[in-house]
């Protein structure tokens, strides 16, 4: 096709595609005037800066700068090439797509990817067919034993890879797709030429991406053998750190339920699905990653970690904490009773037991802290150990620096140490090789909120009383910030309102004076409206933070009461905590929500 008709087709597709519908499938969008807003799927954030404009048909994130039209979104979000995205949208919105010429390189990449998807689809159907064969008896028995009914087996296209080195290899050779099967990770190259089957004597679960294409497989061994679970290796379309088993099939249920259960294994997931609980996903034999959490954030505001009470399950729950905190997604932990997995729990106690566990699940950060406090106690020595373990969890989860900082600041104040100590695991600031340190980022993010509050009040002292009433003194703990606040209170207490700044500078010590002068000189002129809006947002944050702090204090007292065996006091405190209810505004600690700086160049 020539370039003019191609341009025309692209235009038609962009016009026909409903960008709100396409984006809204994977990002929770809320109407805001003429636009829609949501949490950006391309970077970590807790307050929405991702905007979709339905009239002009584009999206833009004011946080990370991603932006573009519906095609750009589909390419970026679903990891599609331009022709793939164009084709998918054209098909979906009924636009005829003439064949077009691609550059040889483009064509090759495109072909390789389509071949991999095609051979995966072929393998899935082949394995599925084989599950009814005579050699799959053990696999069928296993499914029956795990309580997976035929409807689920068929809907999820579960299959069986026979105990053979060249079952699939032979079939693919016959169809001329041996190379593609090797690229798909289905078969493995032999050292002296030829290939052999990767999945042998395994029950196989096809894995779909967010666009519904089969990107790989997860196979469970039948009988003895290692490894118990085998996944497709990384290929041009498969990355287990970025995909979740069950997400594509269960996404509507997840969206409807408003929460997503995260279980450990494929069978756990299918047992729940078989029992009618469909808002569930499972990581593919890997620990939860930042990408997973970000992916889920597009479908739900709450993750329920639904793991075994064994050591591995607890460890996995702990590891999820920095990721969820960092992504600003609410997370709770429901630990299965000792010796149970979802299947046995369902069998013995029914779906009500699952719902009950979910309702009673505890907040993830509190769960982590309480577990550590139980183990180590809250003596000085205990706190040191807790800090060391939290630091370890953080390093293992390896979240991005901002997430690490949020995690650290969340726990550091409870331990009476600096976030920096928690991150580095040492008393002194440590500089990582390479210059860019996590602690540097922590410093920026951690006192950021405090700094914003204090700076705002220095520039707009007329708001001081409001903030004091809202409990700012209880929330701010840094000594310097406390000192400045005190100075500010004194300076605004008497005399001319216009001379507050003069009195402030006069009362301050040399260090603080330098800081205050720099700040006042650099302060941008804000309109009263802007200042009022910033104040409102900060007061809302303050309220959440205060609530969180009070809850934390109660938790600490509860642990203390438990420790000293004072059951009456313990119950009283627990009731008090329950009465306080959940956080206003739910999601998290609300780090980085507002800045008193100039408003962003909002779209017109």
Residue that is written with structure tokens 């795990």 in the block? 146
| Closer CB to Zn ion, 76 or 173, in the complex | 76
Q: What does residue 261 show for φ and ψ, rounded to 5 degrees?
A: -85, 135
Closer of 406 and 504 to Zn ion (Cβ): 406
**Minimum distance from CB of 59 to Zn ion (Å)?**
10
Q: Measured from the CB of residue 448, what is the shortest distance to Zn ion in angstroms?
A: 18
Site string for Zn ion, 24-43 (x = CB under 5 A): ----------------x-xx
User: Using CA atoms, how far apart are residues 575 and 570, in angstroms rounded to an integer?
Assistant: 9
Tracing tokens 């696999």 back to the chain, one arrives at: 139
How far apart, in Å, do the first and last CA atoms of the chain sit? Answer: 38
CB of 61 to Zn ion, least distance (A): 3
Q: In angstroms, what is the minimal distance from the CB of 515 to Zn ion?
A: 32
CA dihedral for 533, 538, 540, 543, sign (positive or negative): negative
Cβ of residue 233: shortest distance to Zn ion, in angstroms? Answer: 30
Enumerate long-range contacts of 516-519, CB under 8 Å, 24 or more apart.
516/458, 516/484, 519/455, 519/458, 519/459
The answer to the question of residue 391 lying near Zn ion (CB under 5 A) is no
Q: Whose Cβ is closer to Zn ion: residue 62's or residue 515's?
A: 62
Burial of 601 (0-12, 13-18, 19+ CB in 10 A): exposed
Question: Hey, how many other C-beta atoms are within 10 angstroms of the C-beta on 406?
Answer: 26
Shortest reach from residue 44's CB to Zn ion, in Å: 9
Three-class DSSP labels, 522-535: HCCCCCHHHHHHHH
Structure-token pair, residue 551: 């809850």
Distance of CA 185 to the CA centre of its chain: 28
Question: Alpha-carbon distance 238 to 448, whole Å?
Answer: 38
Q: Nearer to Zn ion by C-beta: 45 or 268?
A: 45
Binding-residue pattern over the window 522 to 561 for Zn ion, x denoting contact by CB under 5 A: ----------------------------------------
Residue nearer to Zn ion on the CB measure, 64 or 97: 64
Q: Which of residues 59-78 bind Zn ion (CB under 5 A)?
A: 61, 63-64
Q: Which is nearer to Zn ion, 64 or 121 (CB)?
A: 64
Give 38 or 63: the residue with its C-beta nearer to Zn ion. 63
**Choice between 44 and 555, CB closer to Zn ion:** 44
Q: Under a CB-based contact definition with an 8 Å cutoff, are residues 308 and 342 in contact?
A: no
Query: Rounded to the nearest whole angstrom, what is the least distance from the CB of residue 517 to Zn ion in the complex?
Result: 35
Number of residues near Zn ion (by CB under 5 A) = 6
C-beta closer to Zn ion: residue 63 or 342: 63
Taking the complex as a whole, the smallest distance from the CB of residue 48 to Zn ion amounts, in Å, to 10
Q: What is the nearest approach in angstroms of Zn ion to the Cβ of residue 423?
A: 24
Residue whose CB is less far from Zn ion, 63 or 216: 63
Cα Rg of the chain, angstroms: 28
Cis peptide, bond prior to residue 133, ω within 30 of zero: no
Nearest approach, Cβ of residue 38 and Zn ion (Å) = 10
Our CB check for Zn ion shows the closer of 61 and 303 to be: 61
Minimum CB distance to Zn ion, residue 181 (Å):
37
For 277: left if phi > 0, alpha if psi spans -120 to 50, otherwise beta; the answer is beta
What contacts 521, CB < 8 A, 6 or more positions away? none
Number of H helices, E strands in the chain: 27, 17
* CB of 70 vs Zn ion, minimal distance in Å: 17
Smaller CB distance to Zn ion: residue 51 or 279?
51
SS3 410: helix
Beta strands in 173-275 (DSSP E): 187-189, 195-197, 202-208, 214-221, 229-231, 244-245, 260-262
**DSSP structure class, residue 24:** H
Q: Using CB under 5 A, which of the segments 54-62, 138-146, 557-565, 581-589 binds Zn ion? A: 54-62
Q: Which of these, 61, 27, 591, lies nearest to 328 by C-alpha position?
A: 591
Stretch binding Zn ion (CB under 5 A), from 55-63, 104-112, 194-202, 350-358: 55-63
Question: What's CA 167's distance to the chain center, in Å?
Answer: 39
SS3 of residue 217 by DSSP: strand
The count of C-alpha atoms lying within 13 angstroms of the C-alpha of 159, restricted to the half-sphere facing its C-beta, is 25
User: CB 331 → Zn ion: shortest distance, Å?
Assistant: 21
Three-class DSSP category at 587: coil
By beta-carbon proximity to Zn ion, the closer residue of 63 and 328 is 63
Structure tokens at 591: 């780090």
The residues binding Zn ion (CB under 5 A) are 40, 42-43, 61, 63-64
């Amino acid at each position: 096709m020539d370039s003019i008709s191609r341009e025309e087709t692209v235009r038609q597709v962009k016009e026909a595609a409903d960008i709100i519908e396409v984006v809204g499938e994977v990002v929770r969008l809320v109407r805001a005037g003429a636009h829609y807003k949501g949490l950006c799927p391309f970077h970590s954030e807790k307050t929405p800066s991702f905007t979709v404009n339905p009239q002009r048909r584009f999206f833009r994130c004011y946080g990370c700068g991603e932006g573009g039209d519906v095609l750009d979104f589909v390419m970026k979000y679903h990891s599609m090439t331009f022709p793939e995205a164009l084709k998918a949208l054209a098909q979906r919105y009924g636009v005829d797509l003439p064949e077009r010429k691609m550059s040889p390189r483009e064509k090759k990449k495109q072909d390789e990817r389509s071949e991999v998807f095609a051979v995966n689809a072929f393998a899935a159907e082949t394995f599925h067919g084989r599950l009814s064969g005579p050699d799959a008896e053990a696999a069928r028995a296993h499914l029956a034993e795990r309580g997976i009914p035929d409807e689920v087996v068929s809907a999820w296209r579960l299959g069986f890879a026979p105990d053979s080195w060249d079952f699939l290899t032979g079939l693919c050779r016959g169809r001329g797709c041996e190379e593609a099967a090797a690229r798909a990770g289905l078969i493995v190259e032999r050292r002296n030429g030829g290939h052999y089957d990767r999945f042998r004597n395994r029950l196989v679960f096809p894995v779909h991406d967010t666009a519904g294409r089969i990107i790989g497989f997860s196979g469970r061994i039948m009988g003895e053998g290692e490894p118990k679970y085998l996944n497709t290796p990384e290929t041009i379309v498969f990355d287990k750190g970025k995909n979740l088993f069950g997400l594509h099939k269960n996404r509507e249920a997840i969206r409807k339920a408003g929460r997503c259960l995260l279980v450990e294994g494929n069978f756990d997931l299918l047992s729940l699905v078989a029992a009618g609980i469909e808002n569930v996903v499972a990581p593919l034999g890997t620990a939860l990653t930042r990408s997973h959490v970000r992916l889920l954030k597009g479908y739900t505001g709450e993750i329920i970690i639904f793991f075994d009470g064994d050591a591995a399950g607890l460890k996995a729950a702990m590891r999820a904490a920095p990721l969820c905190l960092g992504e600003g997604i609410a997370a709770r932990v429901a630990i299965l009773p000792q010796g149970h997995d979802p299947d046995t729990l369902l069998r013995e106690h029914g779906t009500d037991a699952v719902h009950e566990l979910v309702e009673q699940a505890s907040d993830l950060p509190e769960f982590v802290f309480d577990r550590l406090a139980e183990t180590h106690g809250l003596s000085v020595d205990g706190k040191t150990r807790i800090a060391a373990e939290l630091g370890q969890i953080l390093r293992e989860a390896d979240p991005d620096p901002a997430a690490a900082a949020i995690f650290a600041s969340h726990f550091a104040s409870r331990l009476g140490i600096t976030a920096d100590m928690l991150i580095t695991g040492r008393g002194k600031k440590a500089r990582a090789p390479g210059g860019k340190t996590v602690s540097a980022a922590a410093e920026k993010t951690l006192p950021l909120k405090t700094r914003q509050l204090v700076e705002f009040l220095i520039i707009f002292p007329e708001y001081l009383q409001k903030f004091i009433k809202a409990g700012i003194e209880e929330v701010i703990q840094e000594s310097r910030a406390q000192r400045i606040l005190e100075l500010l209170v004194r300076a605004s207490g008497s005399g001319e309102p216009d001379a507050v700044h003069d009195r402030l500078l006069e009362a301050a010590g040399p260090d603080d004076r330098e800081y205050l002068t720099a700040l006042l000189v650099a302060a941008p002129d804000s309109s009263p409206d802007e200042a009022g809006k910033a104040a409102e947002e900060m007061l809302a944050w303050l309220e959440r933070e205060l609530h969180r702090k009070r809850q934390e204090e109660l938790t600490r007292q509860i642990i203390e009461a438990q420790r000293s065996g004072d059951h009456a006091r313990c119950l009283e405190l627990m009731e008090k905590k329950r009465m306080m209810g959940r956080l206003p505004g739910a999601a998290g600690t609300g780090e980085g929500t507002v800045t008193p700086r100039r408003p962003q160049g909002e779209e017109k």
